[in-house]
Amino acid sequence: MEFLILMIRNGIRPNMFTYSSVLRSCNGLPILKQIHCSITKAGLESDVFVRSSLIDKYSKWGELQNALTTFNEMETSDLIVWNTIIGAFTQNNNGDEALNLFKRMKKSGFMSDQATLTSVLSAVTGMALLELGRQVHVHVLKYNNQDLILGNALLDMYCKCGSMEDARFEFTKMVEKDVISWSTMINGLAQNGFSHEALKMFQTMEASGSKPNYITMVGILFACSHAGLVEKGRFYFEKMETIYGIKPGREHYGCMVDLLGRAGQLNEAVKLIHNMEPGPDVVTWRTLLGACGMHRDTGLAAYAANRVLDLDPDDSGTYSLLSNIYANTQRWEDVEKVRRTMRGKNVKKEPGCSWIEVNKEIHAFIVRDDSHPEIEKIMREVNCYVKRLREVGYVHDTSFVLQDVEGEQMEDPLLCHSEKLAIVYGLMVLVKGKTIRIRKNIRICGDCHLFAKLLAKMENRNIVIRDPIRYHHFQGGVCSCGDYW
């Protein structure tokens, strides 16, 4: 930047090379907009290099509208600029638009390369759409079936779509594996509830001579915490620095807080938080809050919730959690207090939403939303299943019912949870034997978890539910999480 200013002062006119170079070091949105202005003034906007750099930088600042405008105003495009705009939407969690652009790109006659396909795979991964992922896989095969980066992206896609069979198969087929391949598998197995397999894979990784890094260790500790392996987790946490030379960061401390908290060692967890070197952040406190909920420690829960709200005052999830915890211990005045605070701050509860992919179309179910064309039929089916499941031991777990002070008490709020609707819809429309795969925006409640377990057994169906942090594989009356999540 300094040299650019010096250059202009010396009367030398910057050209497209100057601008695409200086854009690399652009570290603020106002500066980016200024540079964009001077590019326009200098009449250098038509250069594809300058354009793609601008698009990329706008996207890094979350300015998708500016990125798209810059893209659409181009007369000529090339493969890289297409990759840039597709990547922009992928990285900003707008997989839908990324896929639309990918279609547009193909229609314009461009052939995808490694960068296109990794972005598109990453978009599909974010949406957890397995059938779409398989379609992209075909494009990958046409491009290059031995590419390491694409192989890794495929592994991640299958893991995040909850199909470990596919992930394992692709992994064994890879001719070359790097630390990302191993870490993807370890994390994928752990998140899908196959903790022991994840730890076994770590041993295989070490035996093969690959060295774990920071992210690999996150996966290992995540596996330990979700399998309740307290001692093993402690072992890896202590040895990661001495043996592997990896300094524990927030994420590792977070896993340890989770590990101790789940195991009921709440005081140990608090001690760790107060002593952790990077200092706790929102995620750390939220983790502790989750553990307080599992162990019904309302006092500590209130403390943790307030630390979360110090750092993120509009976090509706935390208010809901806190209110749930108070409700579970019959502290109705406190429930009301939380509700009042939420109303005062105008914080809205995030509605639960579940998606299911049927014939490459996405069907979304939202609590209290009856816009699905077949909602009445689905509700009737849910009721039928509930009746039949009661005969095999299904009892409502009412500790998950939020007191609804806004009135309009639902006949049975648990019946309306979006995942129940999505699962039942899957049973109605998917061919017999096909795994039902659901993606949802908030974590599954105990009642829906039991519902899914019993239903999987009664209907002899595999059900996979992906929530924001992990997966549940329901099969034959049990879940891969071991009821520990």
Partner DNA sequence: GTAGGGTTAG
Contacting residues toward DNA, per CB under 7 A: 15-18, 20-21, 24, 47-53, 56, 78-81, 83-84, 87, 90-91, 113-116, 118-119, 122, 125, 148-149, 152-153, 156, 160, 179-180, 183-184, 187, 213-216, 218-219, 222, 249, 251
End-to-end CA distance of the chain: 50
Smaller CB distance to DNA: residue 76 or 359?
Answer: 76
In terms of CB distance, is 112 or 318 closer to DNA? 112
* Angle of CA points 105, 109, 113, to nearest 5°: 65
Place of tokens 């497209």: 16
- Which tokens is 355 given? 């998606």
124 versus 263: smaller Cβ distance to DNA: 124
User: 90 or 318, CB closer to DNA?
Assistant: 90
In angstroms, give the least distance from the CB of 224 to DNA: 13
Q: Nearest approach, Cβ of 130 to DNA (angstroms)?
A: 16
Nearer to DNA, 50 or 347 (CB): 50
Nearer to DNA, 125 or 318 (CB): 125
CB 20, CB 53: distance < 8 Å? yes
Least distance from DNA to the Cβ atom of residue 222, Å = 6
Residue 420 in tokens: 């129940």
- Nearest distance in Å: CB 86, DNA: 8
Give the shortest CB-416-to-DNA separation in angstroms: 31
Nearer to DNA, 119 or 323 (CB): 119
Quote the least distance from Cβ 398 to DNA, whole Å.
32
Task: Report in angstroms how near the CB of residue 87 gets to DNA at its nearest.
Answer: 4
51 vs 262 by CB, closer to DNA: 51
Is residue 193 within 8 A of residue 472, CB to CB? The reply is yes
Q: CB-wise, 15 or 34, nearer to DNA? A: 15
Tell me how far apart the alpha carbons of residues 199 and 224 are, in angstroms, rounded to a whole number. Answer: 8
Task: Give the integer Cα–Cα distance in Å for 469 and 485.
Answer: 10
SS3 466: strand
Residues in contact with 468: Cβ distance below 8 Å, sequence separation at least 6, in sequence order: 441, 442, 443
Q: How far is the CB of 149 from DNA (least distance, A)?
A: 4
Of 292, 311, 214, 294, nearest to 253 (Cα)?
214
What is the C-alpha to C-alpha distance for residues 267 and 253, in angstroms, rounded to an integer? 15
- Cα–Cα distance measured from residue 312 to residue 289, given in angstroms and rounded to the nearest whole number: 14
Distance, CA of 357 to CA of 426 (rounded, Å): 9
One-letter amino acid of 260: L
Nearer to DNA, 84 or 354 (CB): 84
At residue 381's C-alpha, the angle toward residues 371 and 399, to 5°, is 85
Contact 362, 129 (CB under 8 A): yes
Q: Are 449 and 483 in contact (CB under 8 A)?
A: yes
CB nearer to DNA: pick between 92 and 298: 92
Say how far apart CA 279 and CA 40 lie, in whole Å: 45
Q: How far is CA 328 from CA 64, 141, 263, 401, 483, in A?
A: 43, 52, 20, 9, 19
- Tell me phi and psi for residue 356, to 5 degrees: -140, 140
Q: Which CB sits closer to DNA, 91 or 323?
A: 91
In terms of C-beta density within 10 A (0-12 exposed, 13-18 middle, 19 or more buried), how is residue 279 classed?
exposed
Nearest approach, Cβ of 113 to DNA (angstroms)? 5
CB of 459 to DNA, least distance (A): 31
Q: How far apart are CA 42 and CA 16, in angstroms?
A: 9
Closest distance to DNA from the beta carbon of 3 (Å): 13
Amino acid at 270: V
- We find the least distance from the C-beta atom of residue 25 to DNA, in angstroms, to be 10
Whole-number Å distance between alpha carbons of 286 and 146: 41
